[in-house]
Structure 1
Amino acid sequence: MKETNEPALQRGADADLLFDVDPASVQTEYEVLQLMRRLVARYGYAHFLIARLPMGEEQRFSERLVLSNWPADLVRQYDAEQVFPASALVERLRRTKLPVIGGPELLQEAGRGMERGVTRQLQRYPEMARHFALLLHATSGEPFLAVLSGSREEPIGGERAMIYLALVQLFECLERTFDAGQPARERLSSREIECLRWAAAGKSGDEIAIILGISAYTVASYFKSATRKLDAVNRVQAIARALRLKLI
């Protein structure tokens, strides 16, 4: 997607933090995504994610993701092996408010060797050799983690502080988009919510049609209207937003 015409993004080659952007002017998840892309480019990283910290029995990594450009096959491997909740990264973030910095071992299950399939997947992405991670809390108290991954050396001193502050500010912008999405609960119809719920459970459009006793064409129309109401670009993003807003 072409990254132009971004009203909230005031370009500036020498800008720090949010690159001369007034955080109050950032209103959409798309704008936050563009800011995150500029942040990783500014500091020499390649990948990023913001995710809800695993709680209780919630295991699926993909359902915890809020903002990410991780490779899809790596996300699938994390889901298949249920590594995320037991990872060294999550374990360490639970015990500190300071940035956690390290190598591939952070993304492995704590206390285990490096023999799992996730390791083989990570070896395909040398640009994910080092990680800078931070624990963040929403105003409601819900814990999130932010991770920047790249092949660059560990940031130190003032640069580390700048990255920390930029992530805190970006998360504040992102949290505002959560609040902006709350009216979606009232706007979505019960049928739209049902379709999203079954899709999140892995059912295809044809299967949902059989379950609900309606045509596949009608199911597709419900997805289309739900995607529009949730301000999503496709069905997958609509499901992710509905999960985040606890609509399904």
Structure 2
Amino acid sequence: MKVTNEPASRREGETDMLFEIDPASVRTEYELLHLMRRLISRYGFAHFMIARLPMADEQRFSERLMLSNWPAELVQQYDASETFQASLLIERLRQTKLPIAGGPELMEPARKGAGKAPAILLPPHADMAHFAVLLHTTYGEPFVVVLSGKRDEPAGGERATLYLALVQLFECLERTFDAGSGAREKLSSREIECLRWAAAGKSSDEIAIILGISAYTVSSYFKSATRKLDAVNRMQAIARAMRMKLI
């Protein structure tokens, strides 16, 4: 498949992204976000995302998402349709340790009838090519890394360079998992319960009924848990709690 727009050309004398990364110097997700943006700009991609590999019994796509610049509307669409976990991209990644690349068809359901929504492509992915790799943490937890954009599929040396750069960036991400864990306050049993039920898809009102407390109290537990986990919202707090194996 041929798509438009070649990768942005590199300035003469500019070193490869691969050799600019010092994993030991990256301590925060903000620093990693900056590096990911530089990487996709360098190679002509528009979007990136890093997420835990979908499992049959896991929660929504948005709660597996670790780092991305995907539009919020796109994440919500994949949540509602359950298309991502049923996609050809995920099926192919489960079958190989090598990077995969392809066009918009990678985001389509691998089998007819998979997912909750019809087999339609979700914008802006309807006209983008994708480059994806499956990477594992030191403890063997699988993660999916996807770069998307209106450009030709990476090939040859560029493909190898991108893969190695993503391995290094993923190591940076894994370091951020541990960097703040010692400084974070310990979650209370109630906070953990609220996060666990939220990860299972329960609303604040439902959690309040299950735990026999008010919805206001549930909300206060979420706020304190979010602060202790240094997260920006409930969704990120759930993701970080799962990453730290607290829920």
Aligned to 1:195: 194
Aligned to 2:41: 41
Partner of 1:166: 165
Quote the residue 1:157 is aligned against: 156
Aligned length: 235
- 1:178 aligned partner: 177
- For residues 153-176 of structure 1, the C-alpha deviation after alignment (integer angstroms, 9 at most, x for no partner) is 122232222211110000001111
Q: Is the 8 A contact 2:87 2:106 kept in 1?
A: yes
SS at match of 1:144: strand
Structure 1 residue matching 2:51: 3-state secondary structure: strand
Matches within 5 A, 1:96-245: 96-112=96-112, 117=117, 120-122=120-122, 124-125=123-124, 129-180=128-179, 182-183=181-182, 187-245=186-244
Distance 1:40 1:77, change over 3 A: same
* Change beyond 3 A, Cα 1:206–1:53: closer
Partners of 1:63 and 1:145 in 2: CA distance: 14
- Compared CA separation, residues 63 and 204, structure 1 to 2 (3 A): closer
- Equivalent residue number for residue 6 of structure 2: none
Per the TM alignment, residue 38 of structure 1 is displaced from its structure 2 partner at its CA by: 1.8
Matched to 2:84, the amino acid is F
Question: What whole-Å deviation, never above 9, does each CA across 1:206-228 have from its counterpart, x for those lacking one?
Answer: 55445434444443332222112
Partners of 1:99 and 1:133 within 8 A in 2: yes
Structure showing greater relative contact order (alpha-carbon pairs closer than 8 Å, 6 or more residues apart)? 2
Deviation at 1:41, TM superposition (A): 1.5
For 1:200 and 1:112, how far apart are their aligned partners in 2? 28
Matched, 1:86 2:86: yes
User: For residues 2-28 of structure 1, what are the alpha-carbon distances to aligned partners after superposition, in whole Å with 9 as ceiling and x for unaligned?
Assistant: xxxxxxxxxxx9353267342101112
**CA separation of 1:227 and 1:184: change in aligned 2, threshold 3 A:** farther
Shift of 1:89: 0.9
Residue 175 to residue 100, structure 1, CA distance change in 2 (3 Å): same
- Contact 1:47–1:128 (Cα < 8 Å) also in 2: no
Residue-by-residue CA offset, 1:194-215 (whole Å, 9 max, x unaligned): 2222333444445544543444
TM-score by length of 2: 0.80
Residue 14 of structure 2: SS of its match in structure 1?
A: coil
Can you give the 5+ residue segments of structure 1 that lack an aligned partner in the other structure? 1-12
- In structure 2, list runs of 5 or more residues that go unmatched: 1-12
Q: Which amino acid aligns with 2:236?
A: Q
Q: What is the CA–CA distance in structure 1 between the aligned matches of 2:80 and 2:214, rounded to whole Å?
A: 32
Of 172-181 and 206-215, deviating more is 206-215
Deviates more, 1:217-226 or 1:21-30: 217-226
Is the 8 Å Cα contact of residues 44 and 150 (structure 1) preserved in structure 2?
yes
Measured after TM superposition, the shift of residue 127 of structure 1 is 7.7
Structure 1 residues 107-139: Cα deviation after superposition (integer angstroms, max 9, x where no partner)? 11214499x9575452x3168510001111211
Letter in 1 for 2:82: Q
Contact 1:51 1:146 in 2 (8 A): yes
SS of equivalent residue, structure 1 residue 187? coil
What CA distance in whole angstroms lies between the structure 1 residues aligned with 2:97 and 2:236? 30
